[in-house]
């Protein structure tokens, strides 16, 4: 119907239709008047024709329709249009397809469709009104679907609401459960789970069945673990259909060996040439390895005790040991070795009726003096003396018998 269509009832136009004559006037029959009244809400102008109003024999009516109010307009008659279906039910994870139809009695079925609504995730609405796809999230969605008169989303239109309900059918199923984890203290530990099940699906990790804070993903990462973090862990999965738990798995936190420590440092020594000497260290820790050095250069020594035999002045110097394990290493303090001349008596010194035996020794070191009747006899202990670097003195009272003396170290 044209935007400015005219319908004029004059004498000629009224004659072909039913009418009743009254004196000097023709009046439309009731059923024609009713047709006019049905269109009255859309009429922009309804008036007597001013050009013919002077004639007492006629009543002339004129009505004009605007383009936006043409009878049958989908937009203007949206209340008279409908959508089918008005409700849709789909299953999460299963492909489905529904065709919507928006129509009215004048235009028939809409030629194209659109929507500005948020569709169920995984689904699309085609221009032909087909809602299809595999939904991925359960829930109820209200869609506003707009049907257009033309296939290019133009012309008159009507918007209708439909309800789409996506339901779950798959309970959570754990396909790859978490596994035991063993790490060293201070490292990171990771648990993970793989599963199937309809969304929405919640994940919570638990330690000894107490929820771990902010642990709501398929992977649980624990940083800087400590012995207190160790224990049993499992994961809980839940959707609207079921709640499932994984079996417990164990987090083991190994405490690494401590770095070597030194409880006793090697001691400096002064010895006579030709003696044996030992340097020892007391270390703490497990899996220890030892490496001795003299003046920074390696020597043959891989145990806590370094033994040197028949030392000479060339052996004098500073000795230390490096102790290592898988965790770290530590160095001992240096210990000095001083080598003095071999142990011997100086020539005897006559002192009145007696004589003195003098031998140079190490300050504070104990020496044993022994005597015998001759070189071939057995020696007997005579006395002990503390050594002195400037000479320890033994006063001997001579007898008529021959006597042989010797000195040796005690420690």
What is the pLDDT at residue 19? Answer: 36
Average predicted confidence (pLDDT) for the chain: 82
* Domain residue limits, the chain: 11-69, 78-167, 173-254, 261-340, 349-409
End-to-end CA distance of the chain: 132
Which CATH class, in words, describes the domain spanning 78-167? Answer: mainly beta
Q: What is the mean pLDDT of each run of 10 residues along the chain (411 residues)?
A: 30 35 40 39 37 38 34 42 91 92 88 95 96 92 95 94 92 96 94 92 96 97 95 96 96 90 96 95 94 96 96 97 94 96 91 90 93 90 92 85 88 73
Tokens (6 digits) for 253:
């936190």
Report the alpha-carbon distance of residue 230 to residue 207 in Å, rounded: 9
Matching fold, domains 173-254 and 261-340: yes
What is the pLDDT at residue 54? Answer: 39
What is the pLDDT at residue 106? Answer: 81
What is the pLDDT at residue 179? Answer: 97
251 CB burial (10 A radius; 0-12, 13-18, 19+): buried
Q: Give the pLDDT confidence of 133-150 residue by residue, as tens digits.
A: 999 888 999 999 999 999
Question: Considering only CA atoms, which of 299, 350, 360, 292 is closest in space to residue 323?
Answer: 292
Residues whose CB is less than 8 angstroms from the CB of residue 340 and which lie 6 or more positions away in sequence, other chains included: 270, 271, 272, 273, 360, 362, 389
Report the alpha-carbon distance of residue 227 to residue 220 in Å, rounded: 18
What is the pLDDT at residue 163? Answer: 96
Which CATH class, in words, describes the domain spanning 261-340? Answer: mainly beta
Q: What is the largest CA-CA distance in the chain?
A: 195
Q: Which fold has domain 173-254?
A: Immunoglobulin-like (2.60.40)
Entry pTM: 0.45
């Amino acid at each position: 119907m044209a935007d400015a269509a005219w319908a004029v009832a004059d004498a000629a136009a009224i004659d072909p239709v039913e009418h009743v004559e009254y004196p000097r006037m023709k009046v439309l029959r009731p059923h024609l008047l009713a047709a006019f009244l049905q269109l009255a809400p859309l009429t922009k102008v309804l008036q007597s024709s001013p050009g013919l109003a002077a004639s007492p024999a006629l009543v002339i009516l004129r009505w004009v329709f605007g383009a936006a109010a043409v009878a049958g307009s989908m937009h203007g008659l949206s209340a008279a249009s409908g959508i089918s279906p008005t409700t849709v039910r789909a299953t999460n994870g299963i492909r489905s397809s529904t065709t919507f139809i928006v129509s009215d009695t004048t235009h028939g079925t809409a030629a194209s469709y659109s929507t500005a609504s948020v569709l169920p995730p995984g689904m699309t609405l085609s221009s032909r009104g087909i809602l299809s796809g595999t939904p991925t999230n359960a829930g109820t969605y209200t869609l506003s679907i707009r049907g257009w008169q033309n296939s290019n989303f133009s012309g008159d239109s009507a918007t209708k609401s439909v309800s789409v309900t996506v339901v779950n059918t798959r309970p959570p199923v754990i396909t790859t459960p978490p596994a035991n984890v063993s790490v060293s203290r201070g490292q990171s530990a990771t648990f993970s789970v793989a599963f199937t099940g309809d969304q929405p699906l919640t994940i919570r990790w638990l330690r000894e069945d107490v929820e771990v804070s902010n642990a709501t993903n398929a992977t649980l990462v624990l940083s800087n673990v400590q012995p207190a973090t160790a224990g049993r862990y499992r994961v809980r999965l839940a959707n609207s259909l079921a709640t499932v738990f994984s079996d417990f798995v164990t987090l083991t936190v190994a405490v690494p060996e401590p770095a070597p420590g030194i409880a006793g440092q090697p001691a400096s020594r002064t010895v006579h040439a030709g003696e044996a000497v030992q340097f020892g260290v007391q270390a703490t820790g497990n899996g220890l390895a030892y490496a001795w050095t003299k003046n920074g250069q390696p020597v043959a020594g891989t145990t806590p005790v370094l033994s040197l035999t028949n030392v000479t002045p060339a052996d004098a110097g500073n000795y230390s040991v490096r102790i290592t394990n898988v965790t770290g290493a530590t160095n001992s303090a240096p210990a000095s070795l001083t080598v003095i001349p071999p142990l011997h008596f100086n020539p005897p010194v006559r002192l009145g009726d007696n004589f003195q035996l003098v031998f140079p020794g190490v300050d504070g070191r104990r020496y044993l003096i022994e005597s015998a009747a001759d070189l071939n006899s057995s020696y007997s202990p005579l006395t002990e003396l503390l050594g002195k670097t400037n000479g320890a003195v033994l006063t001997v009272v001579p007898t008529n018998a021959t006597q042989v003396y010797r000195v040796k170290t005690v420690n």
